[in-house]
Amino acid sequence: MLYYVSGQVALLEPGLAVIDCGGVGYGCRVTAYTAAQLKLHQPAKLYITESIREDAYDIYGFIDREEQRCYDLLTSVNGVGPKAALAILSAGPQNFTLAVMTGDEKLLTAAQGVGKKIAQRIILELKDKMGGANTEIDFSSPVAAAPMAGNNTALATQALKELGYSPAEIATALKGADPNASTEELVRHALRAMVMKG
């Protein structure tokens, strides 16, 4: 089993990166997000997910563990194959997490080969897995018809935790944000604040 490959980028094409590890070139299928962070003839490390079938052996490479985890979650959804998963993640794991947490079908259907039904299934099946019980909201119940104050902030906080930020970082990044803003707006506000700080 391959866990990761580490070496020099020998070849970089759309959807493919070849990593030279001690004279052996590993051809890894990659997202546009990962490819954008690789440079030809420069060292790189990709986390690997293998796909072994009777007629094919494919290696999928990811720039970080978060993107790999998102890929594994996506391909666990019935009807989502490797090609669709890579297309969805090409916008980055952050955008994918945001789309699932906020129920944004448009962000998912923007990926090639992903229709509305698949996008709805992804959101339905992965929202609880990605957000946990803290973000479970039943909008069909009468009580939930009147959202509690801070609900969007809680959702945004959980989404940011999924992206690997600490509670202290999240609290600082959300300072000054409009408490009535949507979850998506709050997450974008926090990510902007963190980028500017970095």
CATH number (domain holding residue 185): 1.10.8
Here the tokens at position 19 are: 């990593």
Lowest mean pLDDT among 2-6, 50-54, 55-59, 139-143: 139-143
Could you tell me the CA-to-CA distances from 187 to 145, 170, 197 in Å, in that order?
23, 9, 15
Q: Is residue 138 part of a domain?
A: no
With 80 as the cut, is the pLDDT of residue 39 above it? yes
Looking at the fold, whether 160 and 186 belong to one and the same domain comes out as yes
Looking at the fold, whether 161 and 106 belong to one and the same domain comes out as no
| CATH code where residue 32 lies | 2.40.50.140
Q: Is residue 80 part of a domain?
A: yes
Here the tokens at position 92 are: 């980055």
Looking at the fold, whether 35 and 69 belong to one and the same domain comes out as no
Quick one: which of 60, 3, 62 has its CA closest to 36?
62
Domain that holds residue 40: 4-62
Domain count, the chain: 3
Q: Is residue 136 part of a domain?
A: no
Average predicted confidence (pLDDT) for the chain: 83
pLDDT at 84: 94
Quick one: which of 39, 98, 99, 97 has its CA closest to 63?
39
Q: Is residue 137 part of a domain?
A: no
Is residue 188 very low, low, confident or very high in pLDDT (cuts 50, 70, 90)? confident
With 70 as the cut, is the pLDDT of residue 130 above it? yes
Using an 8 Å Cβ cutoff, are 102 and 182 in contact?
A: yes
Domain end among 34, 62, 90 = 62
The residue ranking higher by pLDDT, 162 or 173, is 173
What number of CA atoms fall less than 13 Å from residue 169's CA on the CB side? 19
Q: Is residue 153 part of a domain?
A: yes
